């Protein structure tokens, strides 16, 4: 009897506990869903004519919006750490090859031949350089000799012109000195000549006389052109003899110029 009365009470306790837990879970679910949804903004429209409120019959019940549970966040997968690099494989030591004596001899022969060819080329370059330098030096020497020859020709021409100028100056000086002594001889002959009365002026007698170094006249005077007046010609010839010794320069070279002297003796009062 006691166990039959205890069974309905136990079933009722389980039912109440299930209802309480279900209500608590529903409260938690709807509370969290209500906090996550933002209330929609309110919009108001202004009408000029306000419609009449609908009657209880015209209002229809709007269906309830289904509540969508929030999406469950998916965790971002974390990439695994990179694998450490594999250590390099150890290199095997090179295997030393045994040199072939024939290859060594051939290589040495090629090196010697290459060295000989390089030596020949170097000798050829030095020879070409020496020839070029010798040719350049010969050209410089030829140019220098040409310039020296030109300078010698210029100097010789200058000396020749200088000598000609000196000779001309000497000849001019000698001619001037000869003319001066000739005038002195003519003047002395005129002073020693006594022209007779009645001899007209403007007569000219041309004669050649030979004068010794001491101024004496050698031999007879030769008449080249008579004045046309015998009295004047005879007077002049006597005057030449009376004028001895005739004046001569002191230099021997100039005295020789008076060995044979041509004179023109004019009669002027």
Taking 60 as the threshold, does the pLDDT of residue 44 lie above it?
no
CB burial readout 5-36, b (16+ within 10 A) else e? eeeeeeeeeeeeeeeeeeeeeeeeeeeeeeee
In-domain check, residue 122: yes
In-domain check, residue 153: yes
CATH number of the domain encompassing residue 128 = 3.30.1150.10
Q: State if pTM tops 0.75.
A: no
- The chain-wide mean pLDDT, for the chain, equals 78
Q: How far is CA 203 from the centre of its chain?
A: 86
The parent domain of residue 225 ranges over: 108-269
Q: In whole angstroms, what is the distance from residue 167 CA to residue 33 CA?
A: 148
For the chain, what is the radius of gyration of the CA atoms? 80
- Looking at the structure of the chain, the number of domains it has is 1
Q: What integer pLDDT is reported at residue 58 of this predicted model?
A: 46
**Percentage of the chain with pLDDT > 70?**
70
In-domain check, residue 87: no
Q: What integer pLDDT is reported at residue 126 of this predicted model?
A: 92
Q: What integer pLDDT is reported at residue 59 of this predicted model?
A: 43
Q: What integer pLDDT is reported at residue 197 of this predicted model?
A: 87
Q: Within 13 Å, how many C-alpha atoms sit on residue 133's CB side?
A: 6
Taking 90 as the threshold, does the pLDDT of residue 101 lie above it?
no
Look at 37-46, 155-164, 254-263 and tell me which has the smallest mean pLDDT.
37-46
Residues 187-217: tens digit of each pLDDT: 999 999 898 888 888 889 999 999 998 889 9
Q: What integer pLDDT is reported at residue 4 of this predicted model?
A: 47
As given in the structure block, the two tokens for residue 80 are: 């695994």
In-domain check, residue 267: yes
Query: Highest mean pLDDT range out of 45-49, 52-56, 70-74, 252-256?
Result: 252-256
What would the mean pLDDT of 231-237 be, rounded to a whole number? 91
In-domain check, residue 80: no
What is the band of 97 on the pLDDT scale with cuts at 50, 70, 90?
A: low
In-domain check, residue 129: yes
CB burial readout 155-167, b (16+ within 10 A) else e? eeeeeeeeeeeee
Q: In whole angstroms, what is the distance from residue 186 CA to residue 265 CA?
A: 7
In-domain check, residue 215: yes
In-domain check, residue 84: no
Look at 18-32, 163-177, 220-234 and tell me which has the smallest mean pLDDT.
18-32
Q: What integer pLDDT is reported at residue 13 of this predicted model?
A: 76
């Amino acid at each position: 009897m006691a166990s039959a009365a205890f069974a309905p009470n136990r079933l009722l306790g389980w039912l109440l506990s299930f209802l309480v837990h279900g209500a608590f879970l529903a409260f938690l679910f709807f509370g969290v869903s209500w906090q996550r949804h933002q209330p929609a903004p309110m919009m108001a429209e202004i009408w000029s004519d306000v419609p009449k409120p609908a009657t209880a019959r015209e209002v229809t019940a709007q269906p309830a919006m289904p509540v969508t549970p929030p999406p469950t966040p998916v965790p971002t997968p974390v990439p695994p750490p990179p694998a450490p690099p594999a250590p390099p494989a150890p290199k095997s030591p090179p295997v030393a090859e045994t040199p072939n004596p024939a290859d060594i001899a051939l290589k040495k022969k090629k090196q010697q031949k290459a060295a000989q060819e390089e030596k020949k080329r170097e000798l050829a370059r030095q020879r070409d350089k020496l020839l070029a330098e010798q040719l350049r030096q010969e050209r410089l020497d030829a140019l220098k000799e040409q310039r020296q020859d030109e300078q010698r020709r210029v100097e010789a021409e200058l000396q020749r012109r200088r000598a000609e100028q000196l000779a001309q100056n000497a000849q001019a000086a000698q001619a001037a000195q000869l003319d001066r002594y000739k005038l002195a001889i003519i003047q002395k002959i005129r002073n020693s000549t006594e022209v007779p009365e009645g001899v007209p002026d403007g007569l000219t007698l041309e004669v050649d006389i030979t004068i010794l170094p001491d101024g004496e006249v050698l031999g007879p005077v030769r008449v080249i052109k008579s004045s046309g007046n015998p009295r004047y010609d005879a007077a002049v010839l006597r005057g030449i003899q009376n004028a001895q010794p005739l004046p001569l320069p002191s230099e021997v070279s100039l005295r020789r110029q008076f060995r044979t002297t041509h004179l023109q003796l004019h009669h002027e009062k």
